């Protein structure tokens, strides 16, 4: 069936190729024009330009000069490059340890409550809606060394006040807690939707075969969620690798560069120091790292999409 | 969307053991909700405190006396109305152009089949795979001096609306949706001699209301939250949306007023979420994560 269908389309395409109706083509492209124009100007052209910039000494007023690999040499010669990347690696690992499993468990819990569970999904989603700058104002106050709520809470169980955002050991977990709070709601809703698609009959059949609740989760739910789990893991890596607003607004990359990240360094190099060429070399390095993950993600998601429609 | 299904069967969840499990789950979820909601409650009550009270250690979440005038004060002193209007300008314009350009393009790709539409689709997929941050610098220099026209879009809402309007994700989702509209409906329109533009406005768009609403709500949330691009494009403080303006502006204000301002800034997205939750849920399960 599927083969027959695709054959028919290729035949149609071949016919279309043979005689092009120019008037219809002009109409088709007029419909495409606004989007193509916008994409070309604000996405595709800048993408190409980004690579070009990384080999140039960029002057905004015009008269940029080619400098070969100079920007890359300067980037790789800067110890900050390795600091930023190892910070991002730590951020990513921490975010997976602290925040990756929680949404799966929460979604399973909400799903067991059937209709009543909906309200919990909404509550978990609310932080996702808050712009990061506003959320950071609040978290800065929660983490405040004096009179901050978290230190006050710890004082109740006898733990001394901590400098959450000034202590190199604590600052990354502290930021990951913020990002987890802000991010898990969406993930929970995605898992919930996936759980709803698992037919009840599967569980009932397993139950008849004597599968316990845990075994049903282990042998039915987790395998069926596996591809979704993989996709959301990739998405989380892509997302956390671009961490920017938290270090920029809370710590300015400190203490002692412990929260400097590639995106923060790109921002500073370009917009504080005006070194667009060097910043573009950083961008290209970021792109190379992220591309591996994002290409996998797009392939996974749109393959699934075709299979289901 | 299919009916809900849960791991425990109805009989099991009504048994004694099932009820205990459900009880534990409910308690667990309530605890989680308290953690998730706490920052909101904290912001609200901290905004009612005096500037001395907020530095006092201890778990006193409620203020000794509620200083409602804090809220009134930040509203007028920070001119928050201006920030909100700016946020709405940025967001509504962005959503409008994004939906308009995307649905026109998707209609063409789905119905009019321009030469090379498979190449365009592939290009769109590649675009999706490249994170925006990778080309933020050339995007900025492009906005500083637009090619051919040689004008600057800095300090203009067009500098946000136009980049926002180029959205590969929306085009692909809408194209998939348009593909599923039955052929017969279009054939009937063709018999009536309707032009593509008329077909688009009188058939495709009305039939796609639900998906357009979902995409609109999702774009609204995303654009309302956007920080980096507005920060770069809108240097003039009077034009800046809440996300960009508030954090720098409150720097010189005492912490209690900062919290009051933060709480006011949280309200519009919260109200939108509660009233539009249906569409948010529909949207999140769509596209890349649809299965």
Q: Name chain B contacts of A263, Cβ cutoff 8 Å.
A: 133
Q: Which alpha helices (DSSP H) does chain B contain, by range? A: 10-14, 16-46, 69-77, 80-107, 117-129, 136-144, 158-165, 168-179, 183-191, 196-199, 205-207, 209-225, 228-233, 242-249, 255-284
pLDDT in tens, A106-120: 999 999 887 777 889
Of A35, A125, A204, the CB nearest to B280: A125
d(CA A160, CA B226): 37
CB contact under 8 A, A46 and B258: no
| pLDDT higher than 80, residue A187 | yes
Q: Which CATH number goes with the domain that contains A109?
A: 1.10.3720.10
Q: Per-residue pLDDT averaged across B82-101, rounded?
A: 95
pLDDT band, very low/low/confident/very high, at A1 (cuts 50, 70, 90): very low
- Percentage of chain B exceeding pLDDT 70: 95
CB contact (8 A) between residue A137 and residue B130: no
Smallest Cβ distance to A200: which of B5, B136, B266? B5
Q: List chain A residues with CB under 8 Å of B110.
A: none
**Cα–Cα distance, A51 to A187 (Å, whole number):** 33
Q: Provide the percentage of residues in chain B whose pLDDT is more than 90.
A: 52
Q: How confident is the model at residue A41 (pLDDT cuts 50, 70, 90)?
A: very high
Residues contacting A306, CB < 8 A, separation 6+? none
Q: What average pLDDT does range B231-252 have in this prediction?
A: 92
Mean pLDDT of chain A: 88
Contact call for residues B250 and B78 (beta carbons, < 8 A): yes
Residue A97 lies in a domain: yes
* Residues A86, B109: Cα–Cα separation, whole Å: 43
Q: Does A122 touch chain B (CB under 8 A)?
A: yes
pLDDT of residue A23: 82
**pLDDT tens-place string over residues B98-125:** 999 999 999 999 988 888 888 999 899 8
- In tens, the pLDDT along B124-153 reads 988 888 888 889 999 999 999 888 888 999
Please give the pLDDT value at position B41: 94
Q: Show the tokens assigned to A289.
A: 């790292």
The whole-number pLDDT of residue A305 equals 52
- Cα separation, A84 vs A93, in Å, equals 14
Higher pLDDT, A58 or B282: A58
Residue A159 to residue B28: CA distance in whole angstroms:
25
CA distance A185 to A90: 23
Scan residues 174-213 of A and list those with Cβ closer than 8 Å to B: 181, 185-186, 189-190, 193-200, 203-204, 207, 213
Q: Is the per-residue pLDDT at B212 higher than 50?
A: yes
Does A249 touch chain B if contact means CB atoms closer than 8 Å? yes
Report the pLDDT averaged over residues A261-278: 94
| Residue A60 included in any domain | no
Q: Name the residue in chain A with its Cα closest to that of B272.
A: A129
Which pTM value belongs to this model? 0.88
Q: Closest CB to B39: pick one of A27, A109, A142.
A: A142
**CA distance linking residue B56 with residue B73, whole number of Å:** 22
> Which of B59, B133, B273 lies nearest to residue A153, judging by beta carbons?
B59
What is the structure's pLDDT at A59?
84
Q: Which two tokens stand for residue B141?
A: 């220099």
Residues A262/A82, Cβ–Cβ less than 8 Å: no
Say if CB A221 and CB A153 are below 8 A apart: no
Q: Which of A59-73, A131-145, B24-38 has the lowest mean pLDDT?
A: A59-73
A210 within domain boundaries:
yes
Dist. CA A90–CA A84, nearest whole Å: 10
Q: Nearest CA to CA, how far is A239 from chain B (Å)?
A: 10
Length of chain B: 291
Which long-range contacts does B9-17 make (Cβ < 8 Å, 24+ apart)?
B9/A200, B9/A203, B9/A204, B9/A207, B12/A207, B12/A213, B13/A112
Whole-number Å distance between alpha carbons of B231 and B151: 19
Q: Is pLDDT of A309 > 50?
A: no
**Domain total of chain A:** 2
Other C-beta atoms closer than 10 Å to the C-beta of B65 total 10
Considering the domain architecture, whether residues A116 and A257 belong to the same structural domain is answered as yes
| Domain span at A123 | 70-308
Query: Does A187 share its domain with A99?
Result: yes
Whole-number Cα distances in Å, A299 to A238, A295, B176 = 15, 6, 16
- Chain B within 8 Å of A286 (Cβ-Cβ)? yes
Residue B290: predicted pLDDT: 34
Lowest mean pLDDT across B59-63, B103-107, B285-289: B285-289
Nearest chain A CA: its distance from B3 CA (Å): 7
Answer whether A113 sits within 8 Å of B22, measured CB to CB. Answer: yes
CB B260 within 8 A of CB B45: no
Same domain, A274 and A180: yes
Supply the DSSP symbol for A20. -
Predicted local distance difference test score (pLDDT) of residue B1: 39
- Nearest chain A alpha carbon to B56: A147
Note whether A48 and A74 are same-domain residues: no
Q: 3-class SS at B241?
A: coil
B176 closest CB neighbour out of A38, A156, A305 = A305
Q: Same domain for A46 and A186?
A: no
A74 and A160 co-located in one domain: yes
Reported confidence tier of residue B76, pLDDT bands at 50, 70, 90: very high
Asked if pLDDT for residue A24 goes beyond 60, the answer is yes
Position B289 scores a pLDDT of 39
Same domain, A17 and A96: no
Decide if A63 is inside a domain: no
Is the pLDDT at A3 greater than 70? The verdict is no
Residues 6 or more apart in contact with residue A17 via CB below 8 angstroms: none
Nearest chain B residue to A119, by CA: B33
Does A22 touch chain B if contact means CB atoms closer than 8 Å? Answer: no
* Range of weakest confidence among A68-82, A138-152, B74-88, B98-112: A138-152
Answer yes or no: do A139 and A243 share one domain: yes
Could you say which of B1, B131, B269 has the minimum Cβ distance to residue A294? B131
Buried/exposed code over B74-97 (b: 16+ C-beta within 10 A; e: otherwise): beeebebebbbebbeebbebbbeb
Q: Is the ipTM of this complex over 0.85?
A: yes
Q: For A64-94, give one letter per residue: b (16+ CB within 10 A) or e.
A: beebeebbbebbeeeebbebbbebbeebbeb
**Chains A and B: how many Cβ contacts under 8 Å?**
337
What's the burial of A251, exposed, middle or buried (CB within 10 Å: 0-12/13-18/19+)? buried
pLDDT over 50 at B49, yes or no = yes
Rounded to the nearest angstrom, the minimum Cα separation between B4 and chain A is 5
**What's the whole-number mean pLDDT along residues A37-55?**
93
Choose the closest CB to B5 out of A46, A115, A198. A198
Average pLDDT of chain B?
88
What residues of chain A lie within 8 A of the CB of B200, using their CB?
31
Residues comprising chain A, all counted: 309
The pLDDT confidence band at residue B58, using thresholds 50, 70 and 90, is confident
Q: What token pair was written down for B221? A: 């949330």
Residue B104 to chain A, least CA–CA distance (Å): 5
Chain A contact set for B91 (CB, 8 A): none
Residue A20 has pLDDT above 50, yes or no: yes
| Res A18: pLDDT | 57
All residues at 6 or more sequence positions from A94 whose CB lies less than 8 Å from its CB, including other chains: A172, A173, A176
Residue among B147, B166, B266 minimizing CB distance to A134: B266
Residue A64 lies in a domain: no
Asked if the Cβ–Cβ distance from B39 to A242 is below 8 Å, we say no
Does residue A117 lie in a domain region? yes
Q: Please tell me whether residues A113 and A251 are part of one structural domain.
A: yes
Q: How far is Cα A101 from Cα B151, in angstroms, rounded to an integer?
A: 49
Q: Which domains are present in chain B? A: 10-73 (no CATH), 80-252 (1.10.3720.10)
Min Cα separation B285/chain A (Å):
6
Q: State whether B288 and A124 contact (CB < 8 Å).
A: no
Interface contact A190-B284, CB threshold 8 A: yes
Its sign, for the CA torsion B206, B210, B216, B219, is: negative
E-state strands within chain A = 56-57, 65-66
Residues A39 and A130 in one domain: no
Q: Which of B199-203, B234-238, B279-283 has the lowest mean pLDDT?
A: B279-283
Partner residue facing B273 (CB), from A125, A286, A302: A125
Least trusted range by pLDDT, from A31-45, A62-76, A229-243, B265-279: B265-279
Q: Indicate if the pLDDT at residue B279 is higher than 80.
A: no
For residues A75 and A308, the answer to whether their CB atoms sit within 8 Å is no
What is the model's pLDDT at position B12? 83
B171 pLDDT tier (thresholds 50, 70, 90): very high
Mutation target to probe the A interface, by most A beta carbons within 10 A, among B20, B39, B125, B274 is B39
| Co-location of A74 and A48 in the same domain | no
Shortest distance between the Cα of A11 and any Cα of chain B, in A, equals 14
Cα torsion through B279, B219, B169, B141, rounded to 10: -170
Nearest to A237 by CA among A183, A173, A188: A183
Residue A78: pLDDT over 80: yes
Q: How confident is the model at residue B288 (pLDDT cuts 50, 70, 90)?
A: very low
A positions 64-103 inside 8 Å of B (CB): none
Domain assignment present for residue A200? The answer is: yes
Please answer whether residues A259 and A179 qualify as being in contact, where contact means their C-beta atoms are separated by less than 8 angstroms.
no
Q: Please name the residues in contact with A25: beta carbons below 8 A apart, sequence gap of 6 or more.
A: B114, B115
Which residue, A297, A273, A241, is CA-closest to B137?
Answer: A273
Both A207 and A177 in one domain: the answer is yes
Between residues A146 and A171, which one has the greater pLDDT? A171
């Amino acid at each position: 069936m599927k083969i027959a269908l695709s054959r028919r389309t290729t035949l149609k395409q071949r016919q279309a190729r043979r005689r092009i109706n120019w008037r219809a083509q002009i109409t088709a492209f007029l419909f495409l024009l606004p989007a193509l124009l916008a994409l070309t100007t604000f996405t595709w052209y800048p993408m190409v330009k980004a690579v070009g910039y990384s080999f140039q000494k960029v002057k905004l007023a015009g008269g940029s000069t080619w400098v070969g690999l100079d920007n890359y040499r300067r980037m790789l010669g800067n110890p900050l490059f390795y600091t930023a990347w190892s910070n991002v690696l730590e951020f990513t690992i921490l975010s997976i340890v602290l925040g990756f499993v929680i949404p799966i468990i929460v979604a399973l819990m909400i799903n067991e409550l059937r209709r009543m569970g909906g309200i919990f999904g909404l509550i978990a989603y609310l932080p996702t809606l808050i712009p990061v700058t506003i959320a950071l104002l609040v978290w800065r106050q929660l983490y405040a060394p004096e009179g901050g709520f978290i230190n006050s809470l710890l004082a109740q169980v006898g733990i001394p006040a901590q400098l959450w955002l000034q202590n190199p050991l604590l600052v990354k977990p502290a930021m990951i807690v913020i990002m987890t709070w802000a991010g898990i709601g969406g993930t929970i809703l995605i898992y919930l939707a996936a759980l709803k698609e698992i037919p009840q009959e599967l569980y009932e059949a397993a139950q008849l075969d004597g599968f316990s609740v845990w075994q049903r989760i282990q042998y039915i739910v987790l395998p069926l969620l596996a591809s979704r789990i993989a996709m959301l893991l990739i998405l989380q890596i892509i997302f956390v690798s671009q961490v920017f607003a938290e270090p920029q607004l809370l710590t300015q990359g400190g203490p002692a560069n412990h929260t400097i990240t590639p995106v923060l360094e790109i921002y500073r190099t370009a917009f504080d120091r005006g070194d667009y060429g060097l910043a573009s070399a950083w961008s290209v390095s970021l792109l190379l790292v992220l591309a591996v993950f994002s290409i996998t993600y797009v392939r996974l998601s749109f393959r699934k999409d075709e299979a289901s429609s | 969307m299919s009916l809900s299904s849960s791991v425990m069967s109805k009989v099991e969840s009504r048994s004694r053991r099932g009820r205990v499990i459900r009880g534990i789950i409910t308690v667990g979820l309530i605890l989680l909700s308290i953690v998730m909601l706490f920052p909101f409650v904290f912001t609200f009550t901290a905004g009612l405190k005096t500037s001395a009270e907020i530095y006092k250690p201890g778990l006193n979440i409620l203020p000794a006396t509620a200083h409602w005038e804090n809220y009134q004060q930040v509203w007028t002193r920070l001119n928050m109305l201006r920030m909100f209007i700016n946020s709405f300008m940025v967001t509504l314009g962005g959503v409008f152009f994004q939906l308009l350009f995307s649905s026109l393009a998707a209609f063409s790709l789905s119905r009019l089949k321009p030469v090379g539409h498979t190449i365009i689709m592939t290009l769109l997929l590649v675009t999706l795979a490249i994170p925006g941050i990778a080309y933020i610098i050339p995007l900025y220099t492009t906005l500083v001096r637009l090619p051919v026209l040689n004008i600057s879009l800095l300090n203009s809402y067009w500098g946000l609306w136009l980049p926002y309007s180029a959205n590969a994700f929306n085009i692909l989702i809408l194209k998939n949706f348009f593909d599923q509209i039955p052929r017969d409906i279009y054939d009937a329109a063709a018999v009536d001699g309707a032009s593509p533009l008329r077909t688009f406005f009188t058939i495709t768009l009305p039939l796609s209301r639900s998906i357009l609403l979902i995409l609109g709500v999702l774009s609204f949330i995303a654009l309302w939250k956007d920080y980096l691009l507005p920060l770069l494009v809108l240097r003039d403080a009077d034009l800046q949306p809440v996300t960009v303006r508030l954090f720098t502006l409150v720097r010189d204000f005492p912490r209690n007023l900062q919290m009051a301002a933060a709480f006011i800034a949280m309200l519009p997205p919260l109200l939108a979420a509660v009233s539009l939750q249906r569409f948010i849920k529909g949207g999140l399960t769509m596209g890349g994560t649809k299965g």
